[in-house]
Amino acid sequence: MSLLVTGSIGIDTVRTPHGARQDCLGGSSVYFAMAASFFAPVRFLGVVGDDCPFDLQEFFRGRAVDLAGLEVRSGSKTFRWAGTYHDNMNDRTTDHVELNVLDEKPPRIPEAFKDSRYVFLANTNPSLQLELLDQLAEPTLVVADTMDLWINNAAEDLDRLIRRVNGLVLNDSEVKMLTGQNNLVAAARQVVDMGPDFVVVKKGEHGTFVASKDGSSFMLGAFPTEQVVDPTGAGDTFAGGMMGYLAAVDADYTQSLRQAVAYGTVTASLVIENFSLDRWRGADRSEIDQRLELLRTMTTF
């Protein structure tokens, strides 16, 4: 079923205890689209400047990713991000950010994309997420991601967005920041009370916690990856696996969400084993399915 993603396309510079990578492909929508394409066709919406060094047509060759929504904007510069991960690989420092094209108007959704039923609004300014949401017809499931920058600097727009989406994805520090609650469970419940049907709280190596409007909760540990090389994009990859699965089964998402979270978990466990998106070279769906079965055996008692 149709799955639309919109978010950033970036030029990343990453430093971790395992090395460094200069000017590599990144961005929330890129990580999401690659992960989701293992499960369902993806409609890709994004914008880069004319300085972008990456050929996304070539990068996604052989994947079910429709790039009709990719805009190369003349005279603009592509989003750039540089960051350093510390020894524990959970904490990182953002060394440099250039919003560039992300500080301009969002791309226009092609007419053929406006009937998308499954939509993921990857992390960007909530005012842009709202503007893009206004261009869609009648989506079945809309899920958004956000971060501390927008919680602190765009609270009003973020509040409007949260009231309009079915699901929200954010990490444990962000959900506490958003609500002012120090208890993660209470914080997640408060977010659900703000409007969405469910909230997915990412806890890094400690897994995921999900709270739903019907009062139910679900938690799942992270897949125990032995070698974490580069955690960049892990959250977007998680969201891609989760949303890709939901679009593929095209059923009541309240019944499929737990399985979707499990697929997101194991998909994210793969991408962190190498820099940028290099881990996906030569990878196939069978690797994801194998890890899902391993995760199932490790969490059943």
pLDDT of residue 254: 83
Question: pLDDT tens track of the chain, all 301 residues?
Answer: 789 999 999 999 999 999 999 999 999 999 999 999 999 999 999 999 999 999 999 999 999 999 999 999 999 999 999 999 998 877 788 899 999 998 898 888 999 999 999 999 998 889 989 999 999 999 999 999 998 888 988 999 999 999 999 999 999 999 999 999 999 999 999 999 999 999 999 988 889 999 999 999 999 999 999 889 999 999 999 999 999 999 999 888 888 999 999 999 999 999 999 999 999 988 999 999 999 999 999 998 8
Q: Measuring CA to CA, how many Å separate 273 from each of 16, 185, 223, 251, 280?
A: 12, 30, 12, 32, 10
pLDDT of residue 198: 97
The type of residue at 216 is: S
- Listed residue (297, 205, 270, 206) closest to 31, CA to CA: 270
Model-level pTM? 0.95
CB-based contacts of 230, cutoff 8 Å, min separation 6: 14, 16, 18, 21, 85, 272, 274, 275, 276
> How long is the chain?
301
Q: Measuring CA to CA, how many Å separate 182 from each of 162, 172, 173, 190, 218?
A: 20, 10, 9, 12, 19
Domain that holds residue 79: 3-298
- Overall domain count for the chain: 1
Q: DSSP string covering the chain, please?
A: --EEEE---EEEEEEETTEEEEEEEE-HHHHHHHHHTTTS-EEEEEEEETT----HHHHTTTS-EEEEEEEEETT---EEEEEEE-TTSS-EEEEEEE-GGGGSPPPPPPGGGTT-SEEEE-SS-HHHHHHHHTT-S--SEEEEE--HHHHHH-HHHHHHHHTT-SEEEEEHHHHHHHH--SSHHHHHHHHHHTS-SEEEEE-GGG-EEEEETTS-EEEEPPP--S-----TTHHHHHHHHHHHHHHHH-S-HHHHHHHHHHHHHHHHHHHTTSSTTGGGTT--HHHHHHHHHHHHHHS--
State the CATH number of the domain containing residue 290: 3.40.1190.20
Q: Work out whether the CA dihedral 168, 171, 173, 174 comes out positive or negative.
A: negative
